[in-house]
Structures are given as C-alpha cells and as structure tokens.
Amino acid sequence: MYLRCSVSQCGAELDLHDRALACPRCGDLLEVVVDKVALDPPALKRQWRERRLSCDPRDVSGVWRFRDFLPEYPAGTVVTLGEGNTPLVRGHKTAKFAGLRTLWFKHLGWNPTSSFKDLGMTVGMTEANFVGTKAVGCASTGNTSASLAAYAARAGLIAKVYLPAGQISMNKLAQALDYGAELIEIPGSFDDALNALLESVNPDLYFLNSINPFRLEGQKTAMFELLEQLAWNIPDYLIVPGGNLGNSSAFGKAFEELKKFGLVEKVPKMIVVQAAGANPFARMWRAGSRQLVPVDKPETVATAIRIGNPRSWKKSLRGVEFTGGFVMDVTDEEIGEAKAMIGQDGIGCEPASATTLAGLRKLRSEGTIDPDAVVVAVLTGHVLKDTDFIIKHRKKPESREAAEVHAK
Ligand code: F0G
C-alpha cells in the first residue's frame, strides 16, 4: 500500500507513512491505494465471518476485521474501542413516511462515542501512534472532536480540538471534555476553525480531520460490514448525509475497491444529502458544474453539517459518479419532521442523520425513485448527540402519511 494524489491527472505517489497533508505536487488530497489483496473473494468473505468467533481485539473490532483492505500495523499497536459491529435496522413507520417498501437504517451512531467518526478514528489514531506523534488535533462540528478525544485518551496522546465557538451541541462538547481534550474555540464557522487549525499545524501536532486519508480507510469498512449484513445482496440505493464530504468519499472508495477485487459485481447508487443552508455540493450538482463554490455563512439546525467549504468534494463526486448516484438537499423543516419520524420508529438519531429520510421522502414524492427500490439510509449520529434540539425543536410528525401511521 502507498499514498497517491487523489486527482488522477496528477497521480503523485508517496510512501504510505509519509505525513504530508496534501499532494506535494498539486496540493490536492491524498488517498491510500490498496494495490493487492492476498485472498480471493470467497476466501475473504469466509475469513471475515470466521474472525467473528475470535477474541483478538482486531477481530472484535468491526473495522479491523476487514484489515485485508487496511494498512498493516503490529497487532498490539492498534488503538481500538471495539468500534463497528453496528446493526442494520428495518424501518417501518419511516418506510411508510418515505413511501418505500424496503428501507433499512445502518446506524453508525451506535458506535463507542455515538457517531460514525469512530470507524475512521481507530485507523487515524493507530497511524498517529505508529509514526510516533505525541499530540493530535482536529477541527470539528462536535462528533470528530468527541471521537478524537476518546481515541487519543486510549493511545495516551494529547488531544487539541478546534471548535466553532457557540455552534456545537453541548452533548458533544461534554464528551470531548470528559475524555480530557484541550478545547480551542474559534469565532465563526467550522470552516474558520479548520483554517485556524491548518495554520497552526506543525510537526508536533498530528492532523486528524477527514483530509487525513487514514480516517477514510476506517470509514470505508462500514460498507464492507453493511454488504456482509445483507448477505452480499446489493441494495439499489445508499443515502448518506454530506457535510465535509469525507464519509461519502470513504463509501465511494469502498465500492470501487469491492468491485475492483471482485467481491461485488454491482454497487448501490449513492445519494448524498446536504442541508439547504449548507449546500455547496448540491448546488454544484444541480448546476451541472465541476467547480465547488463555497457557501459563505452556512446555516442549518443540523449543526454537524453546518459546513460551507467541504474539503473532500472531489473525492465524494468521484464516488457519486462511480456509483451512478446524485446529490440533493433538504430544508431544516424537512429534517425536523424526518427526525421525529425516525424517533417514532424507536431508532432515533441526531438531526444531520435525518437528512437521509427527508431526502428519501422528497425523492419519492417527485417520483425520482421507485417504491420497490431497496434503500439503505446511513444514520451517522446517536439520538443523544443533540438533546437541545429535541427539547427546543421537537416536531410532532404531522404530515398526512404520519397521521395515517398514528391512526394504526
Ligand atoms: N453526520 C454527522 C452526525 C456528522 O457529525 C457529520 C460530520 C456528518 C454527518 C457529515 O459527514 O463531513 O464526512 O460529510 N461531522 C464532522 C465533525 C464535520 O466535525 O464532527 P462528512
């Protein structure tokens, strides 16, 4: 394995453990290249199943169980909290609400720090440890900081988290504090916090936002686990929230690799959903353009995705195009209503995650997707991640469909 510039026209190559944050030739993002895999597809699938019976911490982790597609580290150096292994939950009232017959939720909020970030952080922190850093840092709308703080504590590293002042949920702030991170509050948005961190990055501070390609390697394993849970039957659509666009980039990379190495013949179409007030990627898609114009003052109730200048948009676009998917947005109103419905199904999630169900309902009402389509919605954060939202903005599901569900 090695690092390569993610822009194919450039293609500059670096050693796997080079600490560069960007391509030294063109300045774009780097990616980990999986160039060979030791086993054939049936043997890989068997090995992943058999590892479930083992007590090796790497097999207990739902990320490292798929380590045939991850960078290799000495067994005792892996920084893990037993992440992954999240269930696939069938939607009932939510399926009706969306107008679909088969809706599944892959709930990545049921991870150790209650968001999908743990899947990437276990790999990012293992790499940080491996290259001998003493301190790690990230900018965050809350979940990355909680996850980074926990995994840094496990690894015995100093954690510094840059947060947009007054703009993140108290629950997430409390998590970072509890795990002992140093909090640096920056006036403005997530984009300002990220710029402030990038300006202060030095050889003593290892950078762990999703620009770091090792983070995406861990996050991609969610798709390995998902398809295994579906007995390798490929759903028609995968729908995922988009903020800084790291997660959708990771999923696109997973599908490319699963296809390249013969584990699947087709892949689900990936739909990325943004909040209407923080929607530069959806705007670009609608305009048919290939140049992202940042949103200056992003605004949405879904604070996790209040991001105006997503750094991974080119990687995410590659994933959307590879899978034949598309990009869309939903309003705060629609997010609130969908979130309430996910609660009504006994599942619950944080507001950003509800963009998925809101998006599905909109797509069905426009007739863009078929009622018989098999759809998996990725829930990215736990219901307890933003309790203020629930108290302040709680919506009763008042739509016609919701009322019908209630009447049953
Ligand atoms: N959902 C939740 C709950 C998130 O916390 C985030 C991002 C996203 C979706 C979007 O994922 O950025 O990979 O497109 N949260 C980051 C953070 C930015 O700092 O916690 P993305």
In short, whether 143's Cβ falls inside 6 Å of ligand 1 is: yes
Cα(188)–Cα(190) distance, integer angstroms: 7
Residue 245 CA, closest ligand 1 atom number: 14
Both structure tokens of 389: 């939202």
Mean pLDDT of the chain: 95
**Which of 209, 208, 191, 387 lies closest to 299 in space, CA to CA?**
191
The amino acid at residue 117 is K
Alpha carbon nearest to ligand 1 atom 15, residue: 304
For residue 348, report the distance from its CA to the centre of ligand 1, in Å: 17
In short, whether 247's Cβ falls inside 6 Å of ligand 1 is: yes
Cα(269)–Cα(263) distance, integer angstroms: 17
In short, whether 386's Cβ falls inside 6 Å of ligand 1 is: no
In short, whether 316's Cβ falls inside 6 Å of ligand 1 is: no
The pLDDT value recorded for residue 263 is: 98
For residue 55, report the distance from its CA to the centre of ligand 1, in Å: 31
- Ordered DSSP codes for 217-260: HHHHHHHHHHHHHTTTPPPSEEEEE-SSSHHHHHHHHHHHHHHH
**Phi, psi of 180, rounded to the nearest 5 degrees:** 85, 25
- Give the pLDDT of the chain (408 residues) as one tens digit per residue: 999 999 999 999 999 999 998 999 999 999 999 999 999 999 999 999 999 999 999 999 999 999 999 999 998 999 999 999 999 999 999 999 999 999 999 999 999 999 999 999 999 999 999 999 999 999 999 999 999 999 999 999 999 999 999 999 999 999 999 999 999 999 999 999 999 999 887 888 999 999 999 999 999 999 999 999 999 999 999 999 999 999 999 999 999 999 999 999 999 999 999 999 999 999 999 999 999 999 999 999 999 999 999 999 999 999 999 999 999 999 999 999 999 999 999 999 999 999 999 999 999 999 999 999 999 999 999 999 999 999 987 766 555 455 455 444
Alpha carbon nearest to ligand 1 atom 12, residue: 244
In short, whether 115's Cβ falls inside 6 Å of ligand 1 is: yes
Q: For a substitution probing ligand 1, which of 145, 238, 380 has the most ligand atoms within 8 Å of its CB?
A: 380
In short, whether 109's Cβ falls inside 6 Å of ligand 1 is: no
For residue 62, report the distance from its CA to the centre of ligand 1, in Å: 20
Residue 352 CA, closest ligand 1 atom number: 1
User: What are the pLDDT digits (tens) for 294-339?
Assistant: 999 999 999 999 999 999 999 999 999 999 999 999 999 999 999 9
